[in-house]
Amino acid sequence: MNSQHFHVITGASGAGKSSLLAALSALGHSTVPEVALAILREQRAGNGRLLPGVDRAGFMEALLLRSIEAHRAAAALPAPVFFDRGVPECVAWMRLMGLEAKSEHLEAAARCRYAGTVFVAEPWPEIYVRDGEREASFERAARSFAPTVAAYVEAGYRICILPKVPVRERVAFVLAQLGGDACGFDSREPREA
């Protein structure tokens, strides 16, 4: 499948990405859930050690490999395919965790391409909820926003800021952008959180 049919939805934790993906899926669109959450759930359920607080390097290697596999597997899905985060974020998260982003990590981000414009959900304190999976404070979650978006900019993607509107309106906004590059906000620089 042409990677131009692979659309990344990224941004701040707790900013409505998963709700947007769920709504797109409910409309019959192909979606790929967030890989990091899947790994965390598996590790916690099985008392595993591949957790950021236990084995950061191991967690990030697993995340990168699983993200590459998800990208590859998405080729079999009907287009368009919407991803909850993508491979370039692995590089950003490695840097945030103080890990070295090796050449093979950068090469993986270069090989696993997506459509040229990435949809970005900005930090949104009004909808942010701490729960069993999202334990960080809003302030801590928001700190990862700029480095996450910067990873896509560094990899040559444009960003399109999602409006802070109800899910149905966000779905309409995203679908309206497909086939064109008329994003309401399109830049190579992430705005401050």
Mean pLDDT of 42-62: 86
Strand partners, 141: none
In a domain, residue 160? The reply is: yes
Burial class (CB in 10 A: 0-12, 13-18, 19+), 55: middle
Say how far apart CA 171 and CA 81 lie, in whole Å.
14
Asked, for residue 192, whether it belongs to a domain, the answer is: no
Cα separation, 23 vs 176, in Å, equals 15
Structural domain containing residue 121: 3-187
C-alpha to C-alpha distance for 36 and 150, rounded to whole angstroms: 19
132 within some domain: yes
Helix and strand element counts for the chain (H, E): 8, 6
Indicate the pLDDT class of residue 179, thresholds 50, 70 and 90: low
Q: Is the confidence at residue 56, as pLDDT, over 80? A: yes
Pairwise CA distance, residues 40 & 137, whole Å: 18
User: In the predicted model, is pLDDT for residue 54 greater than 50?
Assistant: yes
pLDDT at 29: 96
- Residue 176 forms part of a structural domain: yes
What share of the chain has pLDDT > 70, as a percent? 86
By the 8 A CB rule, do 187 and 176 touch?
no
CATH code of residue 117: 3.40.50.300
Q: Read off the pLDDT of each residue in 114-141 and give the average, rounded to a whole number.
A: 78
The confidence score (pLDDT) of residue 166 equals 94
Give me the mean pLDDT over the 158-180 stretch. 91
The residue ranking higher by pLDDT, 61 or 179, is 61
As for how many domains the chain has, the answer is: 1
Q: Is residue 174 part of a domain?
A: yes
Percent of the residues in the chain that have a pLDDT greater than 90, as a whole number: 40
What pLDDT score does 151 carry? 87
Confidence label for 30 from pLDDT (cuts 50, 70 and 90): very high
SS (H, E, C) 47-110: CCCCCCCCCHHHHHHHHHHHHHHHHHHHHHCCCCEEEECCCHHHHHHHHHCCCCCCHHHHHHHH
| Residue 38 covered by a domain | yes
- Report yes or no on 101 lying in a domain: yes
Helix (H, G, I), strand (E, B) or coil at 193: coil
Is 172 part of a structural domain of the chain?
Answer: yes
Higher pLDDT, 16 or 142: 16
